[in-house]
A and B are shown apart, each in its own frame.
Chain A
């Protein structure tokens, strides 16, 4: 079962790249996406979608990653459409509707949505093609200099790894509890506001107590396997291969092209 952000094993070139490169590229591209103007952003977005598909990431997987953010995205779009800068307003008056919206707002809304989509695809590209252990190793690599400032780098890495591990467990637990409630005839759509709030509070408190119980159990299991705070060795070997250098050059070139196009059209 795919959960948002889960790694999917594959054999694409991107899968085999060094996680440090992928993490750095993700950060740089995310920042660049936020600076790109129209129409360059659309070209960049299409390129990202093509890259994602080439890596074996299906549209369904991208769709599943977008799903939890749909409400937020719709809100952004509607806000731009009706409450953004009013330019080239279009009025719709008929027997059923009487309202106006801004054409500029529509364009802006679509632009922001596209930016959002691009950011999601970049994030999906990273998480789907990079095993969590590799990602953690890359984060650990970049945090290593902060060890001099007494940042517990290895502990932070273990915390990130546990967060990755706990996410699907907690989602499964939430689903189980929802099913248990439905099996006993609970329907949130039919319950009143007060009953709904009461049930939500009960549900949330159960989830939270479940999280603490799990955390305790996992901590005990980690103790049993000799986990101690401080330095640990790693199963993951980070190696920069020739393909990584090649991809780095290609990505740098494309970055320069996009920035140049942005300056030209901007």
Chain B
């Protein structure tokens, strides 16, 4: 479990308070989305989870390891993998397998174990065929998957992803999301920053951030029911939720708390069955 206790973070020398008293718990195996407008502290928050940033106030505890204890950083960073927004600044190797091997090399694992982990990680994200390819010849979506595989090779319990689908086309977005979904089903805890409300709706829990604070925390259905608060922060609802709210307002007998296509489909089918009866 990751525990944040009254975490404050101030960027110096600018003196910007990026986090102002964030407290929360993230369970192992949980799928969590972090949403909020630009500059609200989402990236700063997830960088605290693997000790890339240390709180200027409060504590971050990862599986009972305090991030303030620098001697435990190697363990913490093995537990919490970080996928950055721009894969070009995360990928260190020239070829796919070299990059995926970077983390295990830092863990000083024997060559045979590194090779095993590289093959295993590439297979887990479905890009085993790209192993020897030059990074420069990959698409944006493939680079994201390489970045995820690079983190997986360290066998983390949690992965924090900073807008993993930004700038991707729908096909690549779908591929990345299905990999994230698969990792979650394999028991990896996912902390996923996104601006896409439909992506956030697919998770188990949503944290809404504004001005360095967590202002809403709950299941997608509960979060997206708080329409006025979200609009005040400057966030939009998933399109499907908006549609059902408008249908309800127009007098149709539908529930307003629809957040996914599957929910909507169930509603439409049940309405069709009722009208048939």
Report A's interface with B, CB cutoff 8 A. Answer: 1, 3, 6-7, 9, 131-133, 161-162, 164-165, 168-169, 214, 217-218, 220-228, 231-237
A231, B108: Cβ atoms closer than 8 Å: yes
Partner pick for A226 among B91, B103, B114, B133, CB 8 A cutoff = B103
Interface check B9, CB cutoff 8 A: no
**Residues from chain A with Cβ under 8 Å of B88 in the complex:** 169
Considering the chains assembled together, what is the distance between the CA atoms of A173 and B133 in angstroms?
21
Partner pick for B52 among A3, A169, A224, A232, CB 8 A cutoff = A224
A225, B98: Cβ atoms closer than 8 Å: no
**Residues from chain A with Cβ under 8 Å of B86 in the complex:** 217
Considering the chains assembled together, what is the distance between the CA atoms of A232 and B101 in angstroms?
11
A224, B82: Cβ atoms closer than 8 Å: yes
**Residues from chain A with Cβ under 8 Å of B92 in the complex:** 161-162, 165, 218, 221-222, 225
> Closest residue to A172 on the B side, CB-wise?
B136
Counting contact residues on chain B (CB < 8 A from A), the size range is: 35 or more
A221, B114: Cβ atoms closer than 8 Å: no
> Closest residue to B108 on the A side, CB-wise?
A233
Considering the chains assembled together, what is the distance between the CA atoms of A162 and B78 in angstroms?
22
Interface check B134, CB cutoff 8 A: yes
**Residues from chain B with Cβ under 8 Å of A223 in the complex:** 52, 77
**Residues from chain B with Cβ under 8 Å of A6 in the complex:** 134, 136
Interface check B107, CB cutoff 8 A: yes
Partner pick for A224 among B50, B94, B114, B118, CB 8 A cutoff = B50
Partner pick for A235 among B52, B74, B98, CB 8 A cutoff = B98
B106, A226: Cβ atoms closer than 8 Å: yes
Partner pick for A225 among B95, B103, B108, CB 8 A cutoff = B103
**Residues from chain B with Cβ under 8 Å of A133 in the complex:** 93-95, 98, 101
B114, A235: Cβ atoms closer than 8 Å: yes
Considering the chains assembled together, what is the distance between the CA atoms of A227 and B133 in angstroms?
23
Interface check B109, CB cutoff 8 A: yes
Min CB–CB distance B4 → chain A (angstroms): 18
Interface check B111, CB cutoff 8 A: yes
Considering the chains assembled together, what is the distance between the CA atoms of A218 and B92 in angstroms?
7
**Residues from chain A with Cβ under 8 Å of B137 in the complex:** 1
Interface residues of B in 96-110 (CB under 8 A from A): 97-98, 101-110
Considering the chains assembled together, what is the distance between the CA atoms of A235 and B154 in angstroms?
14
Considering the chains assembled together, what is the distance between the CA atoms of A187 and B105 in angstroms?
47
B91, A165: Cβ atoms closer than 8 Å: yes
Q: Mark B2-18, 1 if CB is under 8 A from A, else 0.
A: 00000000000000000
**Residues from chain A with Cβ under 8 Å of B109 in the complex:** 233
Q: Mark B59-94, 1 if CB is under 8 A from A, else 0.
A: 000000000000000100110011010101111111
Whether A225 contacts B151 in the complex (CB less than 8 A), given A164-B94, A235-B118, comes out as yes
The 25 sampled A-B contact pairs (Cβ below 8 Å) are A1-B137, A7-B94, A132-B95, A133-B94, A133-B101, A162-B92, A164-B94, A214-B89, A218-B90, A220-B52, A222-B102, A223-B52, A224-B77, A225-B77, A225-B150, A226-B77, A226-B78, A227-B106, A232-B105, A234-B105, A234-B111, A235-B111, A235-B114, A235-B118, A237-B111
